[in-house]
Amino acid sequence: MRVARWRAVLLHCLLCVCACQGSDCVLGVVGQPVALPCFYPHLPISANFSIEWRKDEAVLLRSRWETSGNVEIWSMNFASLSPDAALTGTFSLELPAVYPADAAFYSLFIVSGGNQSAPVCTVCLRIAASFSIPQVKKEDATEGEETTFLCRSSGGYPQPGVSWLINNTEEPPEGSVRTEAALLPDSHLYNVSSQLTVNVSKDSTVTCTITNLSMNESVTSASGTSDAPILNRASEAMWIFSTALCVAVGLMVIAGVAYQIHLDRLHKRRKEEYKKTERRYKRPRRYEEETEVMTSQTKETDV
């Protein structure tokens, strides 16, 4: 009987662990708030009832609704519930921050008239955190000796998988990789460090990939034996290009302004010449008109 009970307990624990690692679980990020959803609009007939959120078998939150309208809430770890849960039927459990120890099954029970219901909601919570982009560094090596590459990443959970590739296709030889993961001080997060020692040519490219299955994420960085010089030349070329571009744009702006000023002056000069020409043609015309008027007046006098 004892063996059978132990087998049942172990099987239950195994099923819990597998379920918590499944895709149906709610994902909580380390140090961030999370809500465990639960919608139950079928409230008990009795006006006096209470609910309990339990983490495995331990009570995490208890809330009691009385006929007078008072609501009594007791909780651990600052777990909370919506104030209008009884009206809306939304009994989601809100946790202000979660950590690896919070990965478990959470169940909601309703107690009415001294009777406890079966679990109304059961939610699985799994915990994870993203790792930083790995930093890959190559240690100097003399000609003919093996080269060592270091890959470091931090701030993630749980322990990740680390893989190396040479020239994006070739896996390193067996025994050439050594990987360690350690918890950060005063934290639940991991630092991971991996070392690859291998014989590669100078133009080879080595990549390190950190895989976090819980977050469904993979981050990769690459390093070659000539990475640093390439980066330096690239940055220097970029600085020269940006400077030349700024100078070219400045010269184009100055040329555009100068050309616009030249056009304005030319337009103004043509306008003044046109006015002078117009005045020159208007004066003889007025003189002829005055002469015709005087001649007609003289003829009229003679008559």
SS (H, E, C) 3-16: HHHHHHHHHHHHHH
Single-letter residue type at 157: Y
Q: Is residue 3 part of a domain?
A: no
Q: Which residue matches tokens 């005087």?
A: 294
Q: Give me the mean pLDDT over the 32-52 stretch.
A: 82
Looking at the fold, whether 232 and 221 belong to one and the same domain comes out as no
CATH number at residue 80: 2.60.40.10
Instruction: Check whether residue 109 and residue 76 sit in a common domain.
Output: yes
Q: Which of 83-92, 112-121, 160-169 has the lowest mean pLDDT?
A: 112-121
Q: Calculate what percentage of the chain has a pLDDT beyond 70.
A: 73
- Does residue 210 or residue 279 have the better pLDDT? 210
Tokens 């896996």, residue located = 171
How many Cα neighbours within 13 Å face the side chain of 172?
A: 25
241 and 282 together in one domain: yes
The sign of the torsion formed by the CA atoms of 274, 276, 282, 288 equals negative
The verdict on 26 and 108 lying in the same domain is: yes
Q: Are both 108 and 30 inside the same structural domain?
A: yes
The verdict on 190 and 151 lying in the same domain is: yes
Q: How many domains is the chain built from? A: 3
* Contact criterion met (CB below 8 Å) for 223 and 148: no
* Domain end point (choices 72, 97, 128): 128
> Where does a domain end: 225, 248, 269?
225
Looking at the structure, do residues 102 and 199 belong to the same domain, yes or no?
A: no
pLDDT at 244: 76
Domain assignment of residue 296, yes or no: no
Are 218 and 233 in a shared domain?
A: no
Answer yes or no: do 26 and 95 share one domain: yes
What is the per-residue pLDDT for 61? 94
pTM above 0.75, yes or no: no
Same domain, 152 and 174: yes
Pair (153, 163) in one structural domain: yes
Rounded CA-CA distance 106/124 in Å is 6
Q: What percentage of residues in the chain have a pLDDT greater than 90?
A: 41
Same domain, 272 and 175: no
| Residue 134: both structure tokens together | 């790995």
Query: What's the pLDDT score for residue 261?
Result: 86
198, 225, 252 — which closes off a domain? Answer: 225
The answer to whether residue 199 sits within a structural domain is: yes
Determine, yes or no, domain membership for 14.
no
Beta strands 104-112; 49-55: pairing state? antiparallel
Q: Is 61 inside a domain boundary?
A: yes
In the prediction, which pLDDT does 238 show?
55
User: For residue 265, is it within any domain?
Assistant: yes
Name the DSSP letter for residue 33.
-
* Contact between residue 183 and residue 190 where contact means Cβ atoms under 8 Å apart: yes
pLDDT higher than 60, residue 186: yes
The answer to whether 45 and 67 have CB atoms below 8 angstroms apart is: no
Is 7 contained in some domain? no
Residue range(s) defining the domain that contains residue 85: 22-128
- Asked if residue 11 is part of any domain, the answer here is no
Does 15 score more than 90 pLDDT? no
Q: CA–CA separation, 146 vs 149, rounded Å?
A: 10
The pLDDT assigned to 283 comes to 52
